[in-house]
Structure formats: C-alpha cells, structure tokens
Amino acid sequence: MTTAPAPAVTRTAVITGIGVAAPNGLGTEDWWAATLRGESGIRRVDTFDATGYPTALVGRVPGFEAADHLPGRLLPQTDRSTRLALAAADWALADAAADPAALPEYESGVVTSNATGGFEFTHREIRKLWTQGPQHVSVYESFAWFYAVNTGQISIRHGMRGAGGVLVSEQAGGLDALGHARRTLRRGSTFTVTGGVESSLDPWGLAAHISGGRLSHVDDPTRAYLPFDARASGHVPGEGGALLVLEDAEAAARRGAPRVYGELAGYAATFDPAPGTGRPPGLERAARLALADAGAEPTDVDAVFADGAGSPAPDDAEAAALAALFGPYGVPVTVPKTMTGRLAAGGPPLDVAAALLAIRDGVLPPTVHVERPAPGHRLDLVRDTPRELSVRTALVLARGHGGFNSAVVVRARRTP
C-alpha cells in the first residue's frame, strides 16, 4: 500500500515584478516602448569581424556596461549572460519593491532556464588553454559556463536560499522555469525570481548557432527572420530575456507588493513523438493542457504570443495547432520576437512580460517585417503596428529544439 500524496495546495501565483534586457531595449519600459513602436534590435554583429560567417545578423542587447550594474567583485567570475541576468533580476526585484533581505530566506528561491551557458567566458578560457596552457584557465570557468550559474548567482547575491533550480529545454525552458517556480510556491515557497536570460553571440557562440542549421542566411535585418511569412527562411539568434518575480498572491498582499501584473494561471509541457511514428506534434496538446490547468477555454483567450520558429515546417505546424484550437483567424496572434530574434530560454519569459504589459496597457505589440503571410496559415497576425485590445487572458507558446513544447496562460488578476 502506498501513501497517498498530500493534496496539492492551490495557491495563486502572481507576477509582481519584471526585469528585461532585450536587443531592442534595456529595462522594461524602454523595451516595451520600443516594442510598441515596432523597433527591431536585429543588426549585423559589430563586436567582432564576422567575415567568413555565412550569416552575421544578431539581436544584441545594446549599451549594457556590466560595471555600471554589478559590484566589481562579480565581474571576473561572470559571463555576459550572467551579468545580464543579474541586472535583470535586480530590476525585477526593484519593480516588485521587494527587499530580499526582508524575505524569508528559505521560502525565497530562484528558478531559471538556460540553454547555452556562458559562451563568451568559455571561449576566452578555452583560448587560454590552447595558447598558454591549463594553468592559465580561470578557476571561475568551473561554474561560469554552467547552465545553472544564473540561478546560483542570483540566489547568492540576494540570499534567496529556498527551493531553486534550473531547467534546460532550449526555448521551451523559459516557460518550464515559470511552471517549476509555481510548483515551488505550491510546495511552500512564497517568493521566486524566475525566467531566463541568455547570451551566446561571441565568435564561437555564433558559429555554434550556425552549425545548428536553423538560422536564416538572408543578409537583410528586415528580411531574415519572418515567422509565418511565405518567405520564412530560418531565424536570427539574439541575447537577453526577462526575469520575473512570481510569488504567492497572499504573501504578496501581506508584504504590500505595489502591483500585480497578472496571474500565472496555467502551465503545461509536452514532448513530441519520435520522428516517423506518425503521431502529431505536441504543441497543441501543451496549449490545451495549459488552458485546462487555468480552467479556461480557447474562447477565453484574447491573444496568443506564438513560438514563431521562422522556418516553413514548424511555422505550418504551429499555425495548424492554432487553427485547431481557435479556428481560422480565431484569435489575435503576435510574434514580438521578430524585433529581437530568438533568445533561446530568454525569449518565452520576454513574451510573458509582453503579455502582462499587454494586459496592463490594453494593447498588443506587433509582429514586424512579415509582409506576405503564408497562404493557408489563416492567422489573425498583428502586423506592423500595435493593436488596441482589452486583454484579460493570453496564451504564450514556446518550442525547444529537440521536441519540447510548453505553454503558459497568464490572466489579469480577478478583482476580489
């Protein structure tokens, strides 16, 4: 006989703080304003000579001087991805008016996702290894490269020593982190920092993206990444992402959190069947499960932030999933990623931030550069300019390379 698990405590998880570092804006409000203006951060890489690279378009976070944001002690031990993450975490905490020192140390945790680790740092240390010898490799390489390093550094910096973790499922991981953070709240934590921030645009990182075979080779920043367009040819890699403060609603009210952006109402993840089995891909099922988790129907959804892979086959699959869920032209769909490129695990949390601000401001950010929607998709794509719309419930979709599908439902806080 087995012991029945304790019934899950249904606690409401709310987002009370947002921190953003994105290719089209540093800081939440700068990024959001640029996003509503349709400003793209995709441009030719200018941090190294990319002659000989088949493509050199990237979404790089502009104007980030780590020393302006972090104590000197952290600089020698952090990759750019972690520096961006630490800054975004600071901003999210400030936005939530949360003083980590005043939070219960073991009820506060950090759950992030990361798909690429610390590329630039590692590139430098590997170069030292082969040109100067192993004695010259930084001891900090031991963790600076690591997928878990953002969780660890944020946790150490703010003394958030409760349940934490790191999820690695490429792009989908950005939503999986949020789902797991909510799980920690249901298990007794009250406060989490969660999301994802990435960076891998150094010479080695970009080479790795290229070898993945999914980048567009179109050399025009306005033509390279065109999800759901008849000319879709792959994507552009970017860096950055978002970190969110996700906390128990009652605890947030008790500590006097100044605002609630919305509720993390639903989350689900599925895995695609092996190729050749003939079974359908799992994105639609992830969306249905997330909606069920939120107690919502497709008709409750006011907007979808799509994964937007940017290649014909996965775009067709996502459009088919959306048509099955909502019917042709059944719901406004947008891909603000067209202004940043795909940020691996940083992208979906940034979409969640956009969904929350869409709820706040009653406006959907546009999908840019898509001039010729693929015939047959039958999507109500929000193109070029923002669309004013009262948004109460939004669905955010993400797919990670290798078969990961995740979906999140965010919802305006019900007025008590």
Partner 1 sequence: MSALTLPDLTRILAACAGEDEATDLAGDILDIPFADLGYDSLALLETAARVEQDFGIKLTDEAVATLETPRGFLTAADDALRQAA
Distance CA 87, CA 66 (A): 8
Dihedral, 306, 358, 199, 99 alpha carbons, nearest 10: -140
Q: How far is the CB of 75 from partner 1 (least distance, A)?
A: 5
Q: How far is the CB of 387 from partner 1 (least distance, A)?
A: 46
User: Which of 77, 73, 199, 67 lies closest to 141 in space, CA to CA?
Assistant: 77
DSSP 128-169: HHHHT-GGGS-TTHHHHT-TTHHHHHHHHHHT--SS-EEE-B
Q: Which is nearer to partner 1, 136 or 186 (CB)?
A: 136
Interacting span for partner 1 (CB under 8 A) from 9-17, 137-145, 338-346, 367-375: 137-145
Pairing of strands 393-400, 387-388: unpaired
For the window 21-60, what string marks contact with partner 1 as x by the rule CB under 8 A?
A: ----------------------------------------
Q: How far is the CB of 85 from partner 1 (least distance, A)?
A: 17
Options 27, 43, 97, 140; binder of partner 1; rule CB under 8 A: 140
DSSP code, position 107: G
Options 71, 256, 275, 416; binder of partner 1; rule CB under 8 A: 71
Three-state secondary-structure class, residue 52: coil
Token digits for 236?
A: 């552009």
Strand ranges inside 39-95, DSSP E: 42-44, 57-59
Distance CA 315, CA 112 (A): 27
Interacting span for partner 1 (CB under 8 A) from 14-22, 69-77, 262-270, 345-353: 69-77
Contact 178, 410 (CB under 8 A): no
Q: How far is the CB of 205 from partner 1 (least distance, A)?
A: 24
Token digits for 410?
A: 């965010």
Options 46, 104, 127, 142; binder of partner 1; rule CB under 8 A: 142
Q: Which is nearer to partner 1, 71 or 416 (CB)?
A: 71
Q: Which is nearer to partner 1, 75 or 389 (CB)?
A: 75
Interacting span for partner 1 (CB under 8 A) from 66-74, 166-174, 185-193, 238-246: 66-74
Burial of 205 (0-12, 13-18, 19+ CB in 10 A): buried
Q: Is 68 in the site for partner 1 (CB under 8 A)?
A: no
Interacting span for partner 1 (CB under 8 A) from 8-16, 75-83, 310-318, 347-355: 75-83
Options 5, 52, 63, 72; binder of partner 1; rule CB under 8 A: 72
DSSP 331-381: SEEE-GGGGT-B-GGGHHHHHHHHHHHHHHHTEEPPB-S--SBPTT---EE
Q: Give the count of residues interacting with partner 1 (CB under 8 A).
A: 13
Q: What residues numbered 277-306 form the site for partner 1, per CB under 8 A?
A: none
Three-state secondary-structure class, residue 352: helix
Distance CA 261, CA 359 (A): 8
Q: Which is nearer to partner 1, 77 or 311 (CB)?
A: 77
Longest pairwise C-alpha distance within the chain:
66
Three-state secondary-structure class, residue 265: strand
Contact 353, 303 (CB under 8 A): no
Q: Is 127 in the site for partner 1 (CB under 8 A)?
A: no
Options 76, 212, 258, 273; binder of partner 1; rule CB under 8 A: 76
Options 9, 33, 44, 75; binder of partner 1; rule CB under 8 A: 75
Q: Is 77 in the site for partner 1 (CB under 8 A)?
A: yes
DSSP 26-55: ESHHHHHHHHHHT---EEE--SS--TT-S-
Q: Is 159 in the site for partner 1 (CB under 8 A)?
A: no
Q: How far is the CB of 89 from partner 1 (least distance, A)?
A: 19
Interacting span for partner 1 (CB under 8 A) from 136-144, 147-155, 268-276, 309-317: 136-144
Q: Which is nearer to partner 1, 130 or 213 (CB)?
A: 130
Residue found by looking up tokens 């406004």 in the block = 332
Footprint on this chain of partner 1 (rule: CB under 8 A): 71-77, 135-136, 138-140, 142
